[in-house]
Structure 1
Amino acid sequence: MKSRQNPENAPAVDHPAADGFATLTFERDLPVPRSVLWHVWTAPAARAVWSAPTPSVAVKFLEADTRVGGREVSLCKVEGQPDIRCECGWLELQPTVRSVNYELISCDGVTKSAALVTAGFSGTDERSRLVVTVQLSSLAGNMEPGYRQGFNAGLDNLAATSRRTMVLQRVIQASRSVVWNAWMNADTLPQWWGPDGFSCRTKRIDLRKDGEWVFDMIAPDGTVFPNHHLYTDVRAGERIAYTLLWGENGPKHADAWASFEEQDGATKVVLGMVFSTEAEFQEAKGFGAVELGLQTLGKLERFVTSR
């Protein structure tokens, strides 16, 4: 039964294991829109933020392809212990409704468990509900306690991450290649980036994985806002991920991503940001970050459709 005192941390509902098989169910009710929760659950950049169950575990992503038939491969690293390899393969993705994936856990070349993970999403523009069912087969030892602990910790992290995530979307009436080339081009990106009336002054720009963009955003009144983007992932034509810093080599402001999806000849652009703290997220919302971000995507559309 869900705890009324702490509904976001509902306990797992366990069914007894038989011959190494078990079914575990996890539930969370969250004060975030269902669309935001979906992107935090599926976007590789967001998953990298919340996937480590505890601070002592470092998760290194080797591969991440969130589409049906794609897979995600990561290593869980704990000092003094062998790496745990997790392979997740996406079998079904119904945006904001349902996802299904298999999961294989191995260590030192030995497969420890196999599982089928089904996540169901429901809710409104204000609140959302997530129900995750894990059909587990322990292949080497009893993996059930570890799964229970790991999923509860991971979903607690997911809940905290979703409360500081902003997701903006726009369908742009241009092909994906045109939109991508306008974004990932050192000459054109500074021409449209930023809200209405803002301009960019670039110091360095290298739009590749492990590259950076050091620049100032200049407001209509002349106020200068130093920025530094560090590019952590670039998948040509599909997505980018980057870290936002407050000025050159300054403190981290957010982990961000942009994805590009073909949609009937147009391009659906999703821009997501996981702020470093919930307080920063609330402050950004307060000064109009949603509206300013949507203005930026509007400038992108005007740029590509006017050429």
Structure 2
Amino acid sequence: MNTENRQLNINRIFKAPIELVWKAWTEPELIANWWGPNGFSTTIHNMNVEVGGEWKLTMHGPDGTNYPNRSIYKEIIPYKKIVFEHFNPNFITTVLFESQGEETLMDWTMLFETEEMFEAVVKAHKADEGLKQNVEKLAEYLTNLKSL
């Protein structure tokens, strides 16, 4: 089944070991520092990184608007894969990690239920640009973490 017309995907090689990248994705006090597009801050309310675990957060927009988010983890393979289902709008996020020595390849895909949902989210919320900004923020955060 072809899903390209209803998914966003981005790849990035980070100049950071896989252990650090994994921590940035799975520890609430770390992910809060980089999650969300430019100008947004994030409050993590609950982050239970295990199959069936809930992840609740609020993204705070630059204009003061709050965006509550809720996801359920579907698959966790330490240092390899994170899959979660996001609700309202509904999509499945799959993040793959591959160690390349002192660097880490990350492949991040958001798969929407329908092509219409995909188009609505990309048009209304600029999800494609937000995803790119999120990855840039993660890259910068990892660089700063390594220098601590």
Structure 1 length as normaliser, TM-score? 0.45
- CA distance, structure 1, for counterparts of residue 17 and residue 45 of structure 2: 30
Structure 1 stretches (4+) deviating beyond 6 angstroms?
Answer: none
Q: What's the counterpart of residue 262 of structure 1?
A: 99
Cα distance in 2 between the residues matched to 1:237 and 1:219: 31
Matches within 5 A, 1:119-268: 158-159=1-2, 161-246=3-88, 253-268=90-105
Are the equivalent residues in 2 in contact too, given 1:186–1:207 (CA < 8 A)? no
Structure 1: tracts of 5 or more residues without a match? 1-157, 247-251
The aligned runs of 1:62-77 (5 Å cut-off) are none
Stretches of structure 2 that go unaligned for 5 or more consecutive residues are none
Aligned partner of residue 163 in structure 1, secondary structure: helix
Counterpart-to-counterpart distance in 1, 2:32 and 2:139? 14
Q: Distance in 1 between matches of 2:43 and 2:51?
A: 22
Aligned to 1:288: 126
1:162-192 superposed Cα distances (whole Å, 9 cap, x missing partner): 3211111111111111101111112211121
**Shift of the alpha carbon at 1:276?**
1.5
Q: Kindly indicate whether the alpha-carbon contact (under 8 Å) linking 1:186 and 1:206 is maintained by their aligned counterparts in 2.
A: no
The answer on whether the counterparts of 1:168 and 1:290 sit within 8 Å (CA) in structure 2 is: no
Larger helix fraction of residues: 2
SS in 1 for 2:95: strand
**Identical residues among aligned pairs (%):** 29
Number of positions where the alignment pairs a residue of Structure 1 with one of Structure 2: 144
Deviation at 1:264, TM superposition (A): 5.0
Question: 1: distance between equivalents of 2:18 and 2:120?
Answer: 33
Give me the whole-angstrom Cα distance separating, in 1, the residues matched to 2:136 and 2:119: 23
Q: Say which SS state the counterpart of residue 133 (structure 2) adopts.
A: helix
Greater per-residue strand proportion: 1
Indicate conservation of the 8 Å contact 2:17/2:101, yes or no: no
> Residue deviations 1:237-287, cap 9 Å, x none?
0110000012xxxxx510111011123531111110111211111122224
Correspondence for 2:113: 276
AA at the equivalent of 1:296: N
Question: What TM-score, normalized to structure 2?
Answer: 0.90
Cα distance in 1 for residues equivalent to 2:23 and 2:58: 22
| 1:305 to 2:143 alignment | yes
Tell whether the 8 Å contact from 1:233 to 1:240 is kept in structure 2 after alignment: yes
Deviation at 1:212, TM superposition (A): 1.1
Larger Rg: 1
In the alignment, the residues of structure 2 paired with residue 266 and residue 202 of structure 1 have an alpha-carbon distance, to the nearest angstrom, of 27
For 2:37, give the aligned amino acid: P
Distance in 2 between residues matched to 1:178 and 1:204, nearest whole Å: 21
CA distance in 2 between counterparts of 1:168 and 1:284 reads 16
> What is the CA RMSD across the aligned residues, in angstroms?
1.4
User: Which structure has the higher relative contact order (CA within 8 Å, separation 6+)?
Assistant: 2
Instruction: For 2:101 and 2:47, locate their aligned partners in 1 and report how far apart those are by CA, in whole Å.
Output: 32
